[in-house]
C-alpha cells in the first residue's frame, strides 16, 4: 500500500519515505493491520512557529514527521526555555499517549512548514477495538524500547562526560548540521544549559568540557556556530 501522504508532499525540503505503518511502534503487524493504520491516520500541516503540542497539555496525539522540522523545548519555572531536541522527517513524536492522563513534558514547535501523519488517542483506541492485535503488538514494542533505553542509560552513566558531550554534538551535527569542507556546521545556537540537560550534567561542567574540546581541536567556535572538524572524527 502506497503512503497516502505523497499527495501532500511539499515542493521543497527534506521528505521522509517512512510511512506511519512502518514506525517501530507498529513493527510486527500483519499486512492488513498495517494498511488499517495507514488509512486511519490524520494528515496535518503546521506553519513556522506553530505549536504541535504544548508543555502541560494532556497528551492526545502521536505523530510521524513527514516533512519539516520540530523543536522540542522545556519551559522552566524561572521562565528559561531549554531546547532539548530537534526532530526531522522520519522522527516520531508523542508516544506519551499510551499512558493514561499523561501530560506533555515538553512543547513541540514547528521550525519550518511541517507535515505530520498522526493518530489521536481516541482514533487509535477505535482502531485497536477493530484490530486487537495492534494493541498487543504496540505494548510489546514499547516494552522492548524501554529495555533498550535502560541499557543505553546504564552505558551512558559509565562514560566520561567529555565523551558523552562530544557524542551528543556529533549526533546533532550529523542529523541537523550542514556538511562543509571544514566539517559539520551546527547552524543554530546550543546553550550550555541545553547541552547539560541532554547529557545530565551541570552547566558549569559543560563550560569546562567545552573548553577542553575546543583546546583539543574536536570542536571549533565560529561566532554562534559550532563546527566539528572531519579530521577529529576519525
136 lies in the same domain as 186: no
Q: Tell me: the pLDDT tens digits for 127-151?
A: 999 999 999 998 888 888 777 666 5
Same domain? For 19 and 94 the reply is yes
Indicate if 109 and 73 belong to the same structural domain: yes
Picking from 156, 179, 201, the residue at the C-terminal end of a domain is 156
Give a three-class secondary structure readout of 123-139: HHHHHHHHCHHHHHHHH
- The three-class DSSP label of residue 156 is helix
Are both 51 and 145 inside the same structural domain? yes
Task: Please state, in angstroms and rounded to a whole number, the distance separating the CA atoms of residues 117 and 38.
Answer: 9
Q: 3: pLDDT confidence band, cut at 50, 70 and 90? A: low
92 and 135 fall within a common domain? yes
Contacts of 85 (CB under 8 A, 6+ apart): 71, 72, 198
How many domains would you assign to the chain? 2
Strand, coil or helix: 225: strand
| pTM for the predicted model, two decimal places | 0.62
If asked whether residues 131 and 188 sit together in one domain, one would say no
Identify any residues that bridge with 62 across adjacent strands, giving them in sequence order. 119
Please give the residue range of the domain that contains residue 165: 159-233
CATH number of the domain enclosing 172:
1.10.10.10
pLDDT tens-digit readout, 66-124: 999 899 998 888 888 888 888 888 888 877 676 667 788 889 999 988 999 998 888 98
Nearest of 20, 118, 111, 100 to residue 59 by alpha carbon: 100
Amino acid at each position: 500500500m502506497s503512503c497516502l501522504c505523497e499527495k501532500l508532499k511539499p515542493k521543497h525540503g527534506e521528505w521522509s519515505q517512512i510511512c506511519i505503518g512502518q514506525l517501530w511502534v507498529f513493527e510486527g503487524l500483519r499486512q492488513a493491520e498495517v494498511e488499517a493504520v495507514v488509512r486511519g491516520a490524520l494528515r496535518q500541516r503546521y506553519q513556522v512557529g506553530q505549536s504541535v503540542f504544548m508543555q502541560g497539555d494532556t497528551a492526545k496525539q502521536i505523530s510521524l514527521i513527514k516533512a519539516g522540522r520540530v523543536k522540542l523545548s522545556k519551559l522552566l519555572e524561572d521562565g528559561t526555555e531549554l531546547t532539548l531536541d530537534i526532530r526531522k522527517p522520519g522522527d516520531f513524536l508523542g508516544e506519551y499517549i499510551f499512558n493514561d492522563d499523561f501530560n506533555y513534558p515538553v512543547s513541540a514547535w514547528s521550525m519550518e512548514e511541517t507535515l505530520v501523519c498522526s493518530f489521536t488517542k481516541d482514533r487509535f483506541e477505535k482502531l485497536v477495538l477493530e484490530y486487537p492485535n495492534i494493541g498487543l503488538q504496540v505494548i510489546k514494542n514499547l516494552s522492548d524500547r524501554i529495555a533498550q533505553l535502560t541499557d543505553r542509560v546504564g552505558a551512558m552513566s559509565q562514560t566520561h562526560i567529555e565523551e558523552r558531550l562530544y557524542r551528543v554534538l556529533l549526533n546533532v551535527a550529523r542529523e541537523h548540521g550542514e556538511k562543509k569542507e571544514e566539517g559539520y556546521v551546527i547552524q543554530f545556537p546550543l546553550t550550555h544549559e541545553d547541552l547539560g540537560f541532554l547529557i545530565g550534567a551541570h552547566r558549569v561542567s559543560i563550560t569546562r568540557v567545552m573548553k577542553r574540546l575546543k583546546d583539543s581541536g574536536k570542536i571549533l567556535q565560529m561566532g554562534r556556530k559550532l563546527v566539528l572538524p572531519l579530521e577529529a572524527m576519525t
